[in-house]
Amino acid sequence: MFTDATLTQGGCYIPGEGEANASEEYGNSLPDFLFGIAIRGMQTGVTELGSLLFYWAGLCHYVASRLMLQTHYVAVALDNLEDVLGLRSGKFRGEQSLEKAALARHFHRLNDEHGIEVFVYHAPTRAQLADDASRDKDNRELRTNDLEYAEMQTATGQFDVDWMSSYGCRHLGLDGKLVPYVSWGYDPESVAKSVMEQDISLCPGTRKRAHGYLFPPPKMLRVMVRHLMECRANVVLVAPDPCEPYPPWRASIERHVRAKVALGDGFCSNRMHEGWETALVPGYAAYHVFFE
């Protein structure tokens, strides 16, 4: 079984059995205790092990799946080598070692309870068959194309920080230098982690007033708009462009939108195994949200 995780979702692929593209498929059937532990793990950044426990508990919960697991030697493949070594040895290091050890303990307890013998292996990202399953149309990692990114900066000014990005999604500023970014998890190249823990009206570290860029996943749009309103942040927000009457998130920013520019359907790219490929995301616009 291959499992993988992205910013907001996990994915699972079982060769010969098809793939599960959305975590909701198991959500209502999991024991509440294990479901809560797995989801909390994913929300706190321990996404790989949270995803593994989520799908593994789902399989163990179904009698037919459990019988199948008990009659085979089962191989679990992750693309995070540190987590693979931790699951094998029981020893985790780093800031999230306690959270990871707790999730691993529940994983091994499930196997002991049901008599399942599991072998954990490392699968490089290019061989991780669950990668695409963890990136459905609402949760894929999208990167704004360089041309559109530069046009936004030219129109509104250089971005001080990219609030929801990653090492692979970095961009250059108008000065030719990389725009500092905030990652969703632990990243030595980022200036901070977890945008929800930041005051996005200020630059991390310097605390000066920030002009930022914000391109949230669709499922995080409403909570991110609420966060930017609470922080009174000056940002270029990339989001859907709905018709009137506006949904609550759009109505809440209306009086603070200095300008709005519609974006073409191919304004961003989707990360695939082979690299970045143009994604068709229709109906989006760039909103220049400004507070005095």
pLDDT on residue 150: 94
pLDDT on residue 126: 72
The residue type at 136: D
DSSP labels for 249-292? Answer: HHHHHGGGEEEEEE--TTSEEEEETTEEEEE---SEEEEEE---
Mean pLDDT within 126-133: 69
- Per-residue pLDDT reduced to its tens digit, 191-247: 887 788 889 999 988 889 999 999 988 777 888 898 899 999 999 999 999 988 888
**How many CB atoms are closer than 10 A to CB 50?**
25
- Per-residue pLDDT reduced to its tens digit, 32-83: 444 455 555 544 455 677 777 767 776 776 666 666 666 667 788 888 888 8
Boundaries of every domain in the chain: 2-134, 142-289
Name the DSSP letter for residue 36. Answer: H
For residues 55 and 98, the answer to whether their CB atoms sit within 8 Å is no
Burial class (CB in 10 A: 0-12, 13-18, 19+), 241: middle
pLDDT on residue 31: 41
Tokens of 182: 């905030």
For residues 100 and 86, the answer to whether their CB atoms sit within 8 Å is yes
Beta-bridged to residue 213, according to DSSP, are 162, 236
Weakest-pLDDT range from 15-19, 82-86, 143-147: 15-19
The residue type at 140: R
Weakest-pLDDT range from 22-31, 34-43, 86-95, 176-185: 22-31
Helix runs in the chain, H state only: 24-27, 32-43, 47-61, 63-70, 81-89, 97-114, 146-156, 221-231, 248-253
**How far is the C-alpha of 13 from the C-alpha of 69, rounded, in Å?**
15
pLDDT on residue 95: 67
**How far is the C-alpha of 166 from the C-alpha of 164, rounded, in Å?**
7
pLDDT on residue 135: 57
pLDDT on residue 153: 94
Mean pLDDT within 123-135: 69
The residue type at 115: G
Q: Is 167 helix (H, G, I), strand (E, B) or coil?
A: helix
**How far is the C-alpha of 76 from the C-alpha of 241, rounded, in Å?**
42
Q: What's the CATH code, domain 142-289?
A: 3.40.50
**How far is the C-alpha of 114 from the C-alpha of 197, rounded, in Å?**
39
Q: Cα–Cα–Cα angle for 108, 113, 117, nearest 5°?
A: 60
pLDDT on residue 171: 92
Q: Which pLDDT band holds residue 288 (cuts at 50, 70, 90)?
A: very high
Tokens of 128: 């991780």
Q: Residue for token digits 């085979």?
A: 72
What percentage of the chain carries pLDDT values higher than 90?
28
pLDDT on residue 134: 61
